[in-house]
Amino acid sequence: MTSDFFAHAARFASNLPAPKARGGGSARYNFGVGHNDPSAVPVAALSAAAAAAITEEGESLAIYNLGGSALGHEKLRRIIADKLNAHRGFALGADEVLITSGSLQGMDLVNALLCDRGDCVIIEQFTYGAAISKARSAGVDAIPAVLDEGGIVIEALRETLERLAAEGRRPKYIYTIPTVQNPTGTIMPLERRKALLALAAEFDVPIYEDECYADLIWSGEAPPALAALSPEQVIHIGSLSKSLAPALRLGYMVAPWQALGQILALKTDAGTGAIEQMTAARYLDGHFDAHVETLTRHLETKLDAMMEAIGREFGTSVEVVRPTGGLFVWMAYPEGIDTAPLVKAAAEEGISVNAGSDWSVDPEHGRRFVRLCFALPSVEDIEAGIAAFAEVSHKVLGMPERSGNMARRGTE
């Protein structure tokens, strides 16, 4: 037996993604992944919640799904239903919520439920990178929906749906992040939501709504979720990654039973981790709103630091709209700029950011953007990291030309 038995590609399935390399260091300034704020993790309370939950429910760990429903831990489902009812306009019971192992599992399940290879789907032109990569893995053709500051542009979507209908194609879903859109940070107004629901119904296409960031809004109120406005036509997913912690792999799905019962048959994982579920349920019971309030204050402070640093370091050479929630800003260079070489050079300097093209269904649309996450680094690291990023940007793209009021070397 040689040591490269598994090195022959013929052994593997076809069309696999590129393998991962061993190890891989972490960035000195990490603006590249939607991590959360370590200082906002309620460590003592979570620790106490875990201890109490296991003391109370620990024997049931011997039984798959704790001897209960395959939908997940009942108390956690009730807490999620309650928070959706209180804040997102729903009227749900606990049995209308499915717990998933992060929203990423929810995304896999939605694709498995709705899509065959060769189908097409509509995805917002700028979107969560995993929504694009998972659609592609499922062999599905992703068609972009044009966005403006209010989200999906209805007239443009109508044109797309009409064109597809003329070609005899019906999209299997319209994927949208209406509330704190990733990466643009916008919130879709109520009238736009109603128009989107009406248009989707007219063309008989389900809406697949992702509200992972909807808990993290620090100013103003968001309109109700699409799934709350029209429960029958929407599959809604969400997560505790953003409102509690991402290393807990806890997400959820709300959908009509015709969809949820079929999803349950596809969720062949014997349930989501029970200690995560019971700990989160115990902690969030009665603490959800207060925790989110504390967390969003932390996040807003970091956003302030990032906006100030961008203004100071980049001046008018880039455009950034201040989001009213979430964990990231979407920074635009002038038309014609390609941020790919900048992102690569920054990585070599220990600065991790997302290339806009990776967050775009059509990479061309996002070529002049970068996404910068601000929840993980400290305020000091945000300031130093954005300054370092501006330095790399100047070297690679020739902009910004100034740092604060100082001309950069070589610029003048």
Count of residues engaged in binding a copy of itself, rule: CB under 8 A: 99
Residues ≥6 apart with Cβ < 8 Å to 78 = 94
For residue 181, which of 217, 252, 145, 127 has the smallest C-alpha distance? Answer: 127
Q: Answer yes or no whether residue 279 interacts with a copy of itself by CB under 8 A.
A: yes
Helices (H), 167-221: 190-202
Is residue 52 classed exposed, middle or buried when 0-12, 13-18 and 19+ CB atoms within 10 A define those classes? middle
Return the ∠ at Cα 130 (arms to 125 and 131), rounded to 5°: 50
Q: Contact letters (x/-) for a copy of itself, 209-238, by CB under 8 A?
A: ---------------------x-xx-----
Structure tokens at 300: 């807003």
Is residue 410 classed exposed, middle or buried when 0-12, 13-18 and 19+ CB atoms within 10 A define those classes? exposed
Residues 50-89 that bind a copy of itself (CB under 8 A): 50-52, 54-55, 58-67, 69-70
Nearer to a copy of itself among residue 269 and residue 289 (C-beta): 269
Nearer to a copy of itself among residue 309 and residue 376 (C-beta): 376
Nearest-approach distance from CB 396 to a copy of itself, in angstroms = 27
Q: Which of 27, 94, 113, 337 binds a copy of itself (CB under 8 A)?
A: 113
Residues ≥6 apart with Cβ < 8 Å to 333 = 317, 318, 339, 368, 369, 370, 397, 399
Residue type, 281: A
Residues 131-150 that bind a copy of itself (CB under 8 A): 133-134, 137
Nearest-approach distance from CB 372 to a copy of itself, in angstroms = 17
Select the span of 100-108, 214-222, 353-361, 394-402 touching a copy of itself (CB under 8 A). 100-108
For residue 103, which of 142, 143, 131 has the smallest C-alpha distance? Answer: 131
Q: Contact letters (x/-) for a copy of itself, 12-41, by CB under 8 A?
A: xxx-xxxxxxxx--x------x-xxxxxxx
Q: Answer yes or no whether residue 348 interacts with a copy of itself by CB under 8 A.
A: no
Nearest-approach distance from CB 302 to a copy of itself, in angstroms = 12
Q: Which of 120, 156, 264, 396 binds a copy of itself (CB under 8 A)?
A: 264
Q: Answer yes or no whether residue 285 interacts with a copy of itself by CB under 8 A.
A: no
C-alpha 303/C-alpha 330 separation (Å) is 12
Nearer to a copy of itself among residue 9 and residue 406 (C-beta): 9
Nearer to a copy of itself among residue 120 and residue 130 (C-beta): 130
Residues 350-379 that bind a copy of itself (CB under 8 A): 375-376
Q: 61 and 275 in contact (C-beta within 8 Å)?
A: yes
Helices (H), 26-68: 43-57
Nearer to a copy of itself among residue 109 and residue 147 (C-beta): 109
Nearer to a copy of itself among residue 269 and residue 364 (C-beta): 269
Nearer to a copy of itself among residue 8 and residue 409 (C-beta): 8
Select the span of 130-138, 148-156, 347-355, 386-394 touching a copy of itself (CB under 8 A). 130-138
Residues 306-335 that bind a copy of itself (CB under 8 A): none
Helices (H), 66-189: 74-87, 102-114, 129-137, 154-166
Q: Answer yes or no whether residue 118 interacts with a copy of itself by CB under 8 A.
A: no
Nearer to a copy of itself among residue 73 and residue 402 (C-beta): 73
Residues ≥6 apart with Cβ < 8 Å to 235 = 110, 113, 173, 206, 207, 208, 209, 227, 253, 254, 255, 259
Nearer to a copy of itself among residue 232 and residue 289 (C-beta): 232
Nearest-approach distance from CB 384 to a copy of itself, in angstroms = 19
Residues ≥6 apart with Cβ < 8 Å to 29 = 350, 351, 352, 377, 381, 384, 385, 388, 389
The pairing of beta strand 141-145 with beta strand 120-124: parallel
